[in-house]
C-alpha cells in the first residue's frame, strides 16, 4: 500500500489530489515554487517543499527537482495532476527508473498517445472509428493531393507533433491545397521542430465529445461514459457536461465497448480520456487520447458516483478494477462544470492580481473545486483557472438552473472572471436546447454584439 504521495502540481488539482489522498489515508507532500508560498496546497498537504523559482520551467517542470523532492521526503509515488509533467513520457520514464510510482500510464503508452498519427493507427486497428485521413505523415504535395481526393474536401492539414491549433490549415478545394500544404509544414517545423503533417476529413460544425476510461494494471479497461465539451474558445474548453445531450445509451455502450477492447490491447492503464469529434449526422470520430486526469473529470464523477482520483491512486497501487468499480456503471442525473478563469470575459486576457473577495457558491447540488481565497494573489506565471463550479441535478434542466444560481450566489472581486460569460451561456436558448457545436462561443459573442447594436 502506498503510504505517501508527492503531488507534482499546484492549484485546484493539487487540492483535489490531497483530498483523494486524505480519503485513502495516504500522506501527502506538496511541492511549490517561490510564487506559491501562500498557496493552499502548501497549507493542506502534510509536508511542503519549495523546489524552485516562480517560472514553471525551473520549478514545476524541473524534473530533477521533482524527483529529488520525492527522494528526500520518501514519497513512494508521484501524482502529476494535469498539465506540467502529466503527459511527459520522459518524466514517467525517469520515475520508472528511479523506482517512484508514477500515477498514470506506462511511459511507452504515454509516448504512443503523444504521437497522434501512431495513436490513431493503434486504435483504428482495434475498431475505433477514426476520421478518414492519411495513413501517417504526408511527405509531398502530390501525395497530399491524392489523399485529399480520396478523403473528399474539405480536409484539414495538421502537424503530427502539434496541438492547440498551431500548424492547422483547412483546405476547401483542390486549388487551395498547394499553398496550405507548404504553410502547414512550415508552421509545424517552426512550432514543433518537426515538419510532418497529416490530412483529415474536415467537419464544419463538429461537437467535441470525449470518453472517460479507467484501465488497471491487469489488462482490464472500463469506459465511464462521455462528456460533452463543445463549449470552447480557441480550443480552450470553458464548460463541460455529462452526459452529452447528443449521445444516447446505445451509442455510449457501443463506443465504450470498442474503446475497452482497443485500449486493453495497447496496455492502457490508469485514467485517460479519448477525444472524438461528432459530425452533423451524430457520427463520432476519434481524434486523440489524453493520458491523464482531465480538468473536467468532476462531471463524470457526479453522474457515475465514482471518485476518479481515488481510482487513479488505487490502480497505481496495483488494485484491479473489480475492486474499485461497482459491477455496473450507471449514468444518473446530469452535471455541468463551468471553468471560472481569471480572465476578462470579453477579451479573455488573463487577469492576474489580488483576489480581494472570493465567496464561492454553496448549497444543494453545487460542488466547487478551487484553490482561491479572499486575499490570495493570482500569480501571472501559471494558468488562469480560478475555480470550477460543478452543478448537478436530476436532469439537464435542473443542473442548468442550479448552475445559474451558483453563478449568481458567488462573489469574486479584484480580478476579472468568466462568470458573466457563463451566466450568458446558462440563459442562452440554444444552449438550453442542446443545440450547439464548437463554434457556440463565437456565435454567442456575435449575438451579444448584434443585441448591443440594435439597442
Sites of contact with a copy of itself (CB under 8 A): 15-16, 18-19, 22-23, 40, 43-44, 298, 301, 305, 307, 357-360, 362-370, 373-375, 394, 398, 401-402, 404-405, 408-409, 411
Closest distance between a copy of itself and the C-beta of residue 57, in Å? 30
The kind and range of the H/E element at 134 are none
Return the SS3 of 381: coil
| Among other proteins, a copy of itself, none, residue 379 binds (CB under 5-8 Å by kind) | other proteins
Q: What's the gap between Cα 330 and its chain centre?
A: 22
Instruction: Determine if 72 is a binding residue for other proteins (CB under 8 A).
Output: yes
Rounded CA-CA distance 138/410 in Å is 51
To the query of whether residue 402 is one of the catalytic residues in this protein, the response is: no
Closest distance between a copy of itself and the C-beta of residue 405, in Å? 4
Q: Are 109 and 266 spatial neighbours (Cβ–Cβ below 8 Å)?
A: yes
Residue number with CB closer to other proteins (79 or 116): 79
The single residue among 3, 173, 261, 356 that binds other proteins, judged by CB under 8 A, is 356
Instruction: Determine if 322 is a binding residue for other proteins (CB under 8 A).
Output: no
Rounded CA-CA distance 130/50 in Å is 44
Closest distance between other proteins and the C-beta of residue 452, in Å? 21
- Looking at residues 372 to 391 of the shown chain, list those that interact with other proteins (rule: CB under 8 A): 375, 377, 379-380
Q: Are 315 and 214 spatial neighbours (Cβ–Cβ below 8 Å)?
A: yes
Residue number with CB closer to other proteins (164 or 375): 375
Q: Are 386 and 368 spatial neighbours (Cβ–Cβ below 8 Å)?
A: no
Residue number with CB closer to a copy of itself (162 or 225): 225
Q: What is the CA radius of gyration of the chain?
A: 22
- Listed residue (194, 176, 192, 299) closest to 237, CA to CA: 299
Rounded CA-CA distance 418/291 in Å is 28
Residue tagged active-site, from 106, 185, 292, 339:
292
Give the x-and-dash track for 52-71 against other proteins (CB under 8 A). Answer: xxx----x----xx-xxx-x
Give the x-and-dash track for 114-153 against other proteins (CB under 8 A). Answer: ----------------------------------------
Rounded CA-CA distance 31/17 in Å is 13
Q: Are 25 and 317 spatial neighbours (Cβ–Cβ below 8 Å)?
A: no
DSSP class of residue 350? B
Q: Taking each helix axis as running N to C, give the angle between helix 419-426 and helix 396-408, from 0 to 180 degrees, rounded to the nearest 10.
A: 150
Instruction: Determine if 101 is a binding residue for other proteins (CB under 8 A).
Output: no
| Among other proteins, a copy of itself, none, residue 362 binds (CB under 5-8 Å by kind) | a copy of itself
Site for other proteins (CB under 8 A): how many residues?
37
Backbone phi, then psi, for 357, in 5-degree steps? Answer: -140, 135
Q: Are 310 and 298 spatial neighbours (Cβ–Cβ below 8 Å)?
A: no
Question: What are the residues binding other proteins (CB under 8 A)?
Answer: 29, 34-35, 37-38, 42-43, 45-54, 59, 64-65, 67-69, 71-73, 98, 352-354, 356, 375, 377, 379-380, 413-414
Q: Which residues are catalytic?
A: 292
Amino acid at each position: 500500500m502506498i503510504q505517501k504521495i508527492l503531488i507534482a502540481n499546484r492549484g485546484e488539482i493539487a487540492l483535489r489530489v490531497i483530498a483523494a489522498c486524505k480519503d485513502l489515508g495516504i500522506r501527502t507532500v506538496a511541492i511549490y515554487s517561490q510564487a506559491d508560498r501562500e498557496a493552499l496546497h502548501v497549507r493542506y498537504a502534510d509536508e511542503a517543499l519549495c523546489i524552485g523559482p516562480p517560472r514553471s520551467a525551473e520549478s514545476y517542470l524541473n524534473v530533477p527537482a521533482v524527483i529529488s523532492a520525492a527522494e528526500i521526503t520518501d514519497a513512494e509515488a508521484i501524482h502529476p495532476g494535469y498539465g506540467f509533467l502529466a503527459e511527459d513520457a520522459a518524466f514517467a520514464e525517469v520515475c520508472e527508473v528511479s523506482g517512484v510510482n508514477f500515477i498514470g500510464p506506462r511511459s511507452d503508452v504515454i509516448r504512443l498517445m503523444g504521437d497522434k498519427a501512431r495513436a490513431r493507427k493503434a486504435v483504428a486497428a482495434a475498431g475505433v472509428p477514426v476520421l478518414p485521413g492519411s495513413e501517417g505523415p504526408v511527405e509531398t504535395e502530390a501525395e497530399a493531393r491524392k489523399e485529399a481526393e480520396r478523403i473528399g474536401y474539405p480536409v484539414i492539414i495538421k502537424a503530427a507533433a502539434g496541438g492547440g491549433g498551431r500548424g492547422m490549415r483547412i483546405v476547401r478545394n483542390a486549388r487551395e491545397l498547394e499553398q496550405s500544404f507548404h504553410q502547414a509544414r512550415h508552421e509545424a517545423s517552426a512550432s514543433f521542430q518537426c515538419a510532418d503533417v497529416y490530412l483529415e476529413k474536415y467537419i464544419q460544425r463538429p461537437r467535441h465529445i470525449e470518453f472517460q476510461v479507467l484501465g488497471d494494471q491487469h489488462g482490464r479497461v472500463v469506459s465511464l461514459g462521455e462528456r460533452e465539451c463543445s463549449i470552447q474558445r480557441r480550443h480552450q474548453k470553458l464548460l463541460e457536461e455529462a452526459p452529452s445531450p447528443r449521445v444516447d445509451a446505445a451509442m455510449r455502450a457501443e463506443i465504450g465497448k470498442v474503446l475497452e477492447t482497443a485500449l486493453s490491447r495497447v496496455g492502457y492503464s490508469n485514467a485517460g480520456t479519448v477525444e472524438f469529434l461528432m459530425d452533423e449526422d451524430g457520427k463520432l470520430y476519434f481524434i486523440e487520447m489524453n493520458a491523464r486526469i482531465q480538468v473536467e473529470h468532476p462531471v463524470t464523477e457526479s453522474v457515475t458516483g465514482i471518485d476518479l482520483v481515488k481510482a487513479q491512486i488505487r490502480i497505481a497501487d496495483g488494485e484491479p478494477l473489480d475492486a474499485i468499480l461497482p459491477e455496473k456503471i450507471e449514468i444518473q442525473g446530469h452535471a455541468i462544470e463551468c471553468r471560472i478563469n481569471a480572465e476578462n470575459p470579453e477579451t479573455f486576457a488573463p487577469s492576474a492580481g489580488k483576489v480581494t473577495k472570493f465567496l464561492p457558491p454553496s448549497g444543494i447540488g453545487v460542488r466547487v473545486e478551487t484553490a482561491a481565497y479572499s486575499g490570495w494573489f493570482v500569480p501571472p506565471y501559471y494558468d488562469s483557472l480560478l475555480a470550477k463550479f460543478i452543478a448537478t441535478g436530476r436532469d439537464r434542466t435542473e443542473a442548468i438552473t442550479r448552475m445559474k444560481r451558483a453563478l449568481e450566489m458567488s462573489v469574486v472581486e479584484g480580478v476579472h472572471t468568466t462568470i458573466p460569460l457563463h451566466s450568458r451561456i446558462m440563459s442562452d436558448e440554444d444552449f438550453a436546447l442542446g443545440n450547439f457545436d464548437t463554434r457556440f462561443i463565437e456565435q454567442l459573442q456575435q449575438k451579444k454584439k448584434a443585441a448591443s447594436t440594435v439597442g
